[in-house]
Amino acid sequence: MAIAYRKQVDEDTEFALWRMEEDADTLYHQLQLNEQEKSYVDQLANGKRHLHWLGTRVLLRTMLNTNEYIDCRIDSHGKPYLVNMPYQISLSHSFDYAAVMISKSRPVGIDIELVKQKVERIAPKFLRPAELAFINPEQKIEHLYVCWCAKEAIYKCYGQKEVSFVDHIKLHPFAYTPEGSLKADLQKGDVDLNYQVDYLHYEDYMIGYVKG
């Protein structure tokens, strides 16, 4: 399977989706891995977690269009980074899709989620009362997923642990459309950052993506 969707965000930044229709062995043989990575892959149980790890790495390699070894590591906060290439990256996955965002100039964050009814039950765990108040009841599930993906994308872009979705990330009111953008702030201690998050309802999935 090739890239299913690709978007150039600006001249330095893009993201893409990969629909994972291959089996694990097919994905594995498209990668160059060092011994530590091979050992990690061997420890993953066969299933979606295994496919997701392989799928994001195959998509990253495809987007970077290189035959060289890609040294992709995870820092102490859980944020992926490239050791010897001039890109900042963000990875996400959900069910049949892997998503990767890359930029030459700025930190990035991306999140993809399969849209399900269950988000309604957990909404108070990631949204403030003021945020819940602007949710459109006629498109409630989709609107809630935009909010979740936006906060997750900001969290990944910021790249630090101990950030509360409710206490530290504030979304400004916005009307839901299948594709759009919203404003948000991350405020924690001395940190006060402003973001514009873009989002897209793609098939049965919601995607949120942001630049730092």
- Report pLDDT for 42: 87
* 108-114: strand order across its sheet: 108-114, 205-211, 191-202, 179-188, 169-171
Q: Assign 3-class secondary structure to 70-133.
A: CCEEECCCCCEEECCCCCEEEEEEECCEEEEEEECCCCEEEEEEECCCCHHHHHHHCCCHHHHH
Identical fold for domains 3-106 and 114-211, yes or no, is yes
pLDDT in tens, 158-187: 999 899 999 999 999 999 999 999 999 999
Architecture of domain 114-211: Alpha-Beta Complex (3.90)
pLDDT at 135: 98
Task: Answer yes or no: is pLDDT of 2 > 90.
Answer: no
> How far is 165 from 182, CA to CA, in rounded Å?
16
pLDDT tier at 68 (50, 70, 90 boundaries)?
confident
Whole-number pLDDT of residue 77: 94
Residue-range domain boundaries for the chain: 3-106, 114-211
User: Looking at residues 88-99, what average pLDDT do you find?
Assistant: 97
Distance separating alpha carbons of residues 97 and 74, to the nearest angstrom: 21
1 pLDDT above the threshold of 70: no
pTM over 0.85: yes
The mean per-residue pLDDT over the stretch 78-83 comes to 96
β-pair partners for 97: 19, 94
- Asked whether the predicted pLDDT for residue 212 surpasses 90, the reply is yes
CATH superfamily assigned to domain 3-106:
4'-phosphopantetheinyl transferase domain (3.90.470.20)
Comparison of pLDDT for 142 and 67, the residue scoring more: 142
pLDDT of residue 46 exceeding 90, the answer is no
- Let me know: does 19 contact 96? Beta carbons within 8 Å: yes
Does residue 70 contact residue 64 with C-beta atoms inside 8 Å? yes
